């Protein structure tokens, strides 16, 4: 076994295996979308999720008033709903 | 349209295109969807989740949103998360507040903000919903006994 062969088998080959494992672990994480971090700007549209109806259907087919973002985007326009419906709740910050 | 929507296991919001379509991955959306639907089904209340900016007076803004939450607002519970303002508001309607007293909401808020602080929005929301629905219980338990 020459010196070159020794280096290839005992140095380069293990290093290649380690680098491959590293790449397999790190690449998906680098591709994943950015997670929310407190203090960083959110940068997404306002969005309002609602539960599915008990009878199926879903997707707000029978009440367009609360369709996805529609109601969310209407913040600030209080004219249509003067009636206060809130009775309780809680508030918190982080 | 109805043919592909018959099985509604898909995320609630999925019809938006573009890079800013959704702040969550499909699996996160599925978790949120399931948490919202299951807690609403178990309790008979209607939990909705708003994520986005609120007006400066966050409480008034959340209560205003609650007033428009469709159907019967007295039965609905709004969870409003404002990631930019780092504020969480839970608003209950009159019927919902009897099953979910403010103290229970405050406990859920504490759970949720703890997770939000570490950057786990979805985990916080799912856990908070679980806590709220546990507290509210099943509607059958609240019927008058004969």
User: Does some domain include residue A26?
Assistant: no
Identify the H or E element spanning B87.
strand B87-93
- Considering only residues A32 and B130, tell me which one the structure prediction assigns the higher pLDDT: B130
pLDDT at A86: 86
- Structural domain count, chain A: 1
User: Does some domain include residue B142?
Assistant: no
User: Quick check: helix, strand or coil at residue B22?
Assistant: coil
User: Does some domain include residue A30?
Assistant: no
B44: which 2 tokens? 């008979």
- How far apart are the C-alpha atoms of A18 and B145, rounded to whole Å? 68
pLDDT at B72: 85
pLDDT over 50 (residue B8): no
- Structural domain count, chain B: 1
A37 to each of B15, B33, B68, B118, B121, how far by Cα in Å? 26, 22, 30, 7, 9
Q: Which residue of A has its CA nearest to B123?
A: A36
Identify the H or E element spanning A55.
none
- Considering only residues A59 and B114, tell me which one the structure prediction assigns the higher pLDDT: B114
User: Does some domain include residue B143?
Assistant: no
**Structural domain harbouring B118:** 32-135
- How far apart are the C-alpha atoms of B27 and B31, rounded to whole Å? 6
Phi (first) and psi of residue B71, to 5 degrees: 45, -120
User: Does some domain include residue B18?
Assistant: no
**Structural domain harbouring A52:** 43-76
- How far apart are the C-alpha atoms of A75 and B87, rounded to whole Å? 16
| B13·A47 Cβ contact <8 A | yes
User: Does some domain include residue A13?
Assistant: no
Residue B101: which CATH number? 3.10.310.50
Residue A60's pLDDT band (boundaries 50, 70, 90)? very low
User: Does some domain include residue A64?
Assistant: yes
B38: which 2 tokens? 């299951």
User: Does some domain include residue A55?
Assistant: yes
Q: Is B10 left (phi over 0), alpha (psi -120 to 50) or beta?
A: beta
**B38, B47 contact by CB (below 8 A):** no
Residues 26-85 in A contacting B (C-alpha not used; CB under 8 Å): 33, 35-39, 41-52, 54, 56-59, 63, 65-66, 68-69, 71-72, 74-76, 78, 80-81, 83-85
User: Does some domain include residue A47?
Assistant: yes
Percent of chain B with pLDDT over 90: 64
Mean pLDDT value across residues B116-136? 93
Identify the H or E element spanning B110.
helix B102-117
User: Within chain A, how many helices (H) and strands (E) appear?
Assistant: 3, 2
């Amino acid at each position: 076994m020459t010196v070159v062969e020794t280096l290839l088998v005992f140095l380069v080959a293990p290093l290649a295996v380690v680098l491959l494992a590293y790449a397999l672990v790190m690449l998906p994480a680098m591709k994943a979308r950015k997670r929310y971090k407190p203090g960083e700007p959110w940068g997404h549209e306002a969005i309002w999720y609602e539960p599915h109806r008990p009878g199926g259907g879903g997707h707000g087919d029978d009440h367009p008033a609360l369709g996805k973002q529609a109601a969310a985007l209407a913040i600030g326009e209080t004219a249509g709903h003067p009636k206060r419906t809130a009775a309780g709740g809680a508030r918190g910050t982080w | 349209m109805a043919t592909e929507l018959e099985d509604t296991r898909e995320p609630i919001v999925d019809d938006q295109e573009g890079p800013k379509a959704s702040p969550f991955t499909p699996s996160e959306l599925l978790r949120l969807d399931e948490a919202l639907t299951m807690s609403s089904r178990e309790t008979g209340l209607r939990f909705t989740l708003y994520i986005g900016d609120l007006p400066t007076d966050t409480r008034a803004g959340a209560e205003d949103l609650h007033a428009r939450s469709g159907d019967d607002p007295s039965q609905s519970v709004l969870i409003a998360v404002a990631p930019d303002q780092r504020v969480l508001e839970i608003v209950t309607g009159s019927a919902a507040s009897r099953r979910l007293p403010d103290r229970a909401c405050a406990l859920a808020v504490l759970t949720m903000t703890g997770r939000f602080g570490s950057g786990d929005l979805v985990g916080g929301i799912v856990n908070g919903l679980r806590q709220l629905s546990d507290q509210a219980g099943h509607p059958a338990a609240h019927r008058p006994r004969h």
